[in-house]
Structure 1
Amino acid sequence: MPSGSLRGQVALVTGAGRGIGREIAIGLAAEGMGVGLVGRTHETLTDTLKECARHGSRGVAVTADVTRHGSVREAVRAVERDLGPVDLLVNNAGQVDRAEVPLWETDPNHWWQVIETNLRGPYNLLRCVLPGMVERGRGRVVNLNSGFALRPDGNYTAYATSKGALLQLSDNIADSLAGHHVVVLDISPGAVATDMTAGMPMFQDMKTWGSIPYMVAVTVDAARGRFDALHGRFIHAGRDNLEELVRRAEEIREADARTLRLRPYGPQDPMG
């Protein structure tokens, strides 16, 4: 049952016209947040906006291409003009490789388009939203990431590379943001049924999908600050015991765990 616990705050959600982004936006609206909806298709964004409005939430829908900095800059300005400063940024917009093929058989243009959407897109949003958060000394960022960031996959090289780079980006900015009380988290929903996963051959026989409502609940908890102690880390909503992660947050930080690191081959490894 929604509690209105986030009333008075503002979220900006990319890829909010469908799939996980749509459901996250509606879930945040149900908790009282004003929602800035950003995506490429006006019709789907408008439909999401109507659903958010049913919860009494203020909202604005802005069409933008996340790979274009100017487009993102204007979208952020529109959201902040109509709703106020952004308290929570959800970088959800993403693409995946069109076919399961090795790198030497990929379409070069589409391969780079995936990289731009999944990495340049979040960068553009961060570049436009973080200055305000830093100035105000508060804010939270949730990057929708994937288990592909943590393991090699020869058939989805663009997607896996972009998600690994996104996780590394979060790690690179975490220390500098901590001094300004801005939290960044990379959260994977696991394999959930969306238009994107429906087109991935590896999931064609999938019977049991992860829960989108659970991912929405995790994002709401992130907005509330439940995972602030895991700042700069990777969370897998589909597999993790979140209570355990929160309980062991100090240990995780001390061990530099849940980050991308080079594994030494032994005690004599100079990179160890």
Structure 2
Amino acid sequence: MRSGTLEGQVALITGAGRGIGREIALGLAAEGMAVGLVGRTLQTLTDTLKACVKQGAKGIAVTADVAHPGAVREAVRSVERDLGPIDLLVNNAGQVDRAEVPIWEVDPTQWWQVLEVNLRGPFNLMRSVLPGMVERRRGRILNLNSGFALRPDGHYTAYATSKGALLQLSDNIADSLAAHHVVVLDISPGAVATDMTARMPMFADMKEWNSLPYMVAVVVDTARGRFDALHGRFVHAGRDDLQQLVAMAEEIKAKDARTLRLRPYGEDDPLL
């Protein structure tokens, strides 16, 4: 049922034709948000758009490969022309390593393709969307990240590297964005049942998945500004007590927590 709590706002969601992206688009549309749907396959995007329109939301479907800067620029122009200025960018489009193999056995082309989609894609979107947000002095960017960003994984080196780099990118731009009242957050949904995770051997025997509706609710609350105090930080929706994190936001900031940092080996470490 459409509540209209985000009426008048515009979201751009990448990878919106299926999986998490589709559900996020539907969740935002249900709250009255106009949705710009970006992906590579027109049919799946159109299906998502029809479902959003049934809820009374405005929307547009635009095909684009997020790894191609020119295509992204045109997609952003189309969304803003038809729907208006973008209030929320959801960088959801992603790929994962095709096989669980060590790096010396990977397909080099596919390995770099994962980096192109997962890191260059969000950069391309931010590069096109941020000038408007900075000028208007408002806006939110939500990067769909992963626990793989925080721990070594010898079998998904492209995915883990791309997500770690994405988290570092958010950290690097957080201070400059804060000066313009633009928020960036990296949120991991955890393991949710999608076409992508279904193809990953590590999840072959998975019985209990994290809740996709809960992740959608987290995105809706992000659009409402509930997590603005955690600007520039990493949040794991599948594990964190989000209310507690918000309450601890000042402490988290003071301790420089929820960011990627090199740990010193001891008091004598010159990098301390």
The bucket for the TM-score relative to the shorter chain is over 0.9
Instruction: Measure the CA separation in 2 of the matches of 1:240 and 1:5.
Output: 25
Structure 1 pair 190–17 and aligned structure 2 pair: CA distance change class (3 A):
same
Aligned residue for 2:120? 120
- Alignment partner of 1:49 is 2:44: no
Distance, in Å, in 1 between the alignment partners of 2:150 and 2:3 is 35
Distance, in Å, in 1 between the alignment partners of 2:269 and 2:223 is 41
Question: What does residue 232 of structure 2 align with?
Answer: 232
Gaps of 5+ in 2: none
After superposition, what is the alpha-carbon deviation per residue over 1:90-119, rounded to whole angstroms, capped at 9, x for unaligned? Answer: 000000000000000000000000000000
What is the distance in 1 between the residues matched to 2:258 and 2:236? 10
Q: Counterparts in 2 of 1:194-233, with a 5 A limit?
A: 194-233=194-233
Give the TM-score of the pair, scaled to structure 2.
0.99
Q: Percent identity?
A: 80
- What is the distance in 1 between the residues matched to 2:97 and 2:197? 11
Partner residue, 1:151: 151
Q: Secondary structure at the match of 2:89?
A: strand
What is the 5 A alignment of 1:238-257? Answer: 238-257=238-257
State the match for 2:184 in structure 1: 184
Moved over 4 A (4+): none
1:160 aligned residue: 160
For residues 172 and 115 of structure 2, the distance between their equivalents in structure 1, rounded to whole angstroms, comes to: 18
User: Structure 2 counterpart of 1:255, which letter?
Assistant: K
State how far apart, in whole Å, the 2-side matches of 1:151 and 1:271 are: 21
Q: Counterpart in 2 of 1:35?
A: 35
Q: Kindly state the Cα deviation for residue 3 of structure 1 after the two structures are TM-superposed.
A: 2.8
Please give the alpha-carbon distance, in whole angstroms, between the structure 2 residues aligned to 1:269 and 1:130: 38
Deviation string 1:27-55 (CA, Å, 9 cap, x unpaired) is: 00000000000000000000000010011
SS for the counterpart of 2:260 is coil
Partners in 2 of 1:145 and 1:161 — Cα distance?
11
Give the secondary structure class of the aligned counterpart of 1:240. coil
CA distance, structure 2, for counterparts of residue 87 and residue 27 of structure 1: 16
Q: CA deviation digits over 1:98-157, x for unaligned, max 9? A: 000000000000000000000000000000000000000000000000000000000000
C-alpha contact (below 8 Å) 2:2/2:29 kept by paired residues: no
Match of residue 174 from structure 1: 174
The CA distance in 2 between the partners of 1:269 and 1:233, in whole Å, is 26
Count how many residue pairs are aligned between Structure 1 and Structure 2.
Answer: 272
CA distance in 2, matches of 1:188, 1:5: 24
Aligned 8 A contact 2:2 2:56 in 1: no
- Answering whether residue 110 of structure 2 is matched by residue 110 of structure 1, we say yes
In 1: Cα distance, 2:85 partner to 2:218 partner: 22
SS of residue matched to 2:155: coil
Q: Partner of 1:62: helix, strand, or coil? A: strand
CA separation in 2, counterparts of 1:103 and 1:191? 23
Residue 25 (1) aligns with residue 25 (2): yes
Distance in 2 separating the partners of 1:194 and 1:202: 14
* SS of residue paired to 1:124: helix
**What TM-score results when the alignment is normalised by the length of structure 1?**
0.99
Match of 2:197, SS state, is: helix
* Alpha-carbon separation, structure 1, partners of 2:254 and 2:227: 16
Residues 59-88 of structure 1: CA deviation (Å, up to 9, x unaligned): 000000000000000000000000000000
SS at match of 1:57: coil
Structure 1 position 10 matched with structure 2 position 6:
no
The answer (yes or no) to whether the contact 2:2–2:55 under 8 Å persists in 1 is no
